[in-house]
């Protein structure tokens, strides 16, 4: 990531909006923003999710639902570069005696959200990645988020919640979806 270019760009934004980039309260802001972007856009240079480990299990786990609920995330809308944030819940049904380490699911959420993106892309990236690396009997992803591009500008609708979902395999069955949501609410 080009820190110097980011800093120069932030100074230019201040200039363009009529703000003095050398004013004491903001003269270090370009450096802070550049460091922040390096952190919050950290997966831009990682084309594939590789930070996971699969574990072998006995066949008693096959066909049973595993869920990880309410994983918090923060991301940036690629349309306005404003934050959106919320939670991700994931369910999958193992097959072939394979499960993913539970801590890897929140890491996958980080991978999908630490770049300028859309909530819909976050949802499908998480779901498709789990389908690819696990080859499970099914995957469900449910994302709910608040978008500052909706709340701060345009329609200015505070506390509105955007919800998106991904269902593959066994989760295309409405009863399995209901079981997934029941586990999230308990």
Q: Which residues are annotated as a binding site?
A: 77, 80, 149
Whether the Cβ atoms of residue 99 and residue 57 lie closer than 8 Å to each other:
yes
> Which one of 27, 79, 120, 178 is the catalytic residue?
79
What gap in Å lies between CA 121 and CA 179, rounded to an integer? 24
The answer to whether residue 120 is catalytic is no
Check 80, 120, 177, 179 and give the catalytic one. 80
119 a catalytic residue: yes
Catalytic residue (choose from 121, 149, 151, 179): 149
Neighbours of 161 (CB within 10 A): 10
Long-range contacts of 25-32 (CB under 8 A, 24+ apart): 30/6, 31/7
Strands (E), 44-107: 54-56, 66-77, 83-93, 98-100
Binding residues for Zn(2+): 77, 80, 149
Which residues lie across from 163 on neighbouring strands?
144
79 is catalytic: yes
Active-site annotation holder among 119, 120, 177, 179: 119
38 noted as active-site residue: no
Residue 149 known to be catalytic:
yes
Catalytic residue among 8, 19, 28, 78: 78
Residues recognised as catalytic? 77-80, 119, 147, 149
């Amino acid at each position: 990531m080009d820190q110097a270019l980011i800093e120069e760009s932030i100074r230019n934004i201040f200039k363009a909006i009529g703000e003095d980039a050398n004013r004491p309260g903001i003269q270090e802001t370009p450096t802070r923003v550049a460091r922040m972007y390096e952190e919050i856009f950290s997966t831009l240079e990682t084309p594939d999710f590789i930070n996971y480990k699969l574990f072998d299990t006995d066949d008693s786990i096959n066909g049973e639902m595993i869920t990880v609920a309410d994983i918090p995330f923060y991301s940036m809308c690629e349309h306005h570069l404003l934050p959106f944030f919320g939670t991700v819940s994931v369910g999958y049904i193992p097959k072939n005696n394979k499960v993913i380490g539970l801590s890897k699911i929140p890491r996958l959420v980080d991978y999908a959200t630490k770049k300028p993106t859309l909530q819909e892309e976050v949802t499908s990236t998480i779901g498709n990645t789990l389908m690819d690396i696990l080859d499970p009997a099914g995957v469900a992803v449910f994302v709910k988020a608040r978008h500052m591009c909706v709340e701060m500008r345009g329609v200015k609708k505070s506390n509105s919640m955007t919800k998106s979902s991904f269902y593959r395999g066994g989760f295309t069955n409405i009863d399995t979806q209901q079981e997934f949501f029941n586990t999230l609410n308990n």
